[in-house]
Amino acid sequence: MLANTTRTLTEAQREQWAVDGYLQIEGALSPAEVDFFSKLLDDKVRTEPGYEPAPGALPRGHYDWKLPDQNKDGFMDRRDLLPCHQAFIDLIDRPRIFDLILDLMGPYIQFSMSQAIVRASTDTFPGYIHTDGGQAQKSIRVSETSRPLAVKVMYLLTDVTAPDSGNFTVFPGSHLRLFPEKPERLPHPHMPGAVPLLGKAGDAYVFPHALWHGPSPNHSGKARKTLLYNYCQMFMRAYDFSGPYAGLLERCTPRQRRLLGDLGHDFRPGDFFYAPEDQEAVMTGT
């Protein structure tokens, strides 16, 4: 059964989205869900091989199949979580957050990526400021009144109550303007304009790929865990799978299937540009 999707942004959220370029949704996950996902990362995701960064072997942003560090507080950056557990599939269109995604992005969207990141407490990581969407998105900025091209939801699984705790750090408004990124002025989490956000486990940050953002260093003494879910307009490409995600479709609701690329027929040229006629009804559950 699909939840009927009716929630929309408040006026204050709409303004914050347009001006600052991000939202913080408190209590998006319950404490029980935070515990559940946190244990799932420790006891299942981390103990099995999966797609992880391979610095030195592969360029930045490319993932190789490997086993992460087995220390539960060590660094982990796992992609393509959905096959790992039904709960990861169900989080794709969790009503309270997905309602906002639909309101922001419109109904012609797909799910494009899932990720779990554990930022270890360490003196060796200086943080990392970037846009999402690779090289291209650094120079693509839509206007305040436009729908975004792609949006990420970051669920905190750890309280982040002080700076330099692996905070999600944003440059408010940077989704709308040229941002300096020169060898002599590389963006970093302590430069002017950076806002290291605080939050409670269970909070979610929602932001477009165009916003300059990233993790601050983590000197808190404890690892910071997050889940990240990405959505993009249908004419763009998913990052974690290359076509309809066939291996998962039988575990999905109709809406989840559509978000994972199942348009209800075999691929035809033009698909994903013009969506099936029931796209809006499938997305909103009406």
Residue number of the CB atom closest to ligand AKG: 215
Under rule CB under 6 A, residue 189 binds ligand AKG: no
Do 205 and 154 form a contact (C-beta atoms < 8 A)?
Answer: yes
Q: How far is the CB of 134 from ligand AKG (least distance, A)?
A: 11
Q: How far is the CB of 32 from ligand AKG (least distance, A)?
A: 24
Q: What are the structure tokens assigned to 207, written together?
A: 């932001």
Closest C-alpha among 167, 157, 210, 216 to residue 187: 216
Q: Is the dihedral of CA 238, 179, 227, 5 positive or negative?
A: negative
Q: Which of 88, 168, 179, 239 binds ligand AKG (CB under 6 A)?
A: 168
SS3 210: coil
Do 238 and 113 form a contact (C-beta atoms < 8 A)?
Answer: yes
Q: Of 84 and 223, which CB lies nearer to ligand AKG in the complex structure? A: 223
Question: In the range 112-151, which residues lie near ligand AKG by CB under 6 A?
Answer: 117, 119, 132
Per-residue binding string, ligand AKG, 210-249, x by CB under 6 A, is ---xxx----------x-x---------------------
Q: How far is the CB of 214 from ligand AKG (least distance, A)?
A: 4
Residues that bind ligand AKG (rule: CB under 6 A) add up to a total of 10
Q: What burial letters (b/e) apply to 108-137, b meaning 16+ CB within 10 Å? A: bbbbbbbbbbbbbbeeebebebbbbbeeeb
Q: Of 189 and 244, which CB lies nearer to ligand AKG in the complex structure? A: 189
Measured between alpha carbons, how far is 34 from 223 in angstroms, rounded to an integer? Answer: 14
* Site of interaction with ligand AKG (CB under 6 A): 117, 119, 132, 154, 168, 213-215, 226, 228
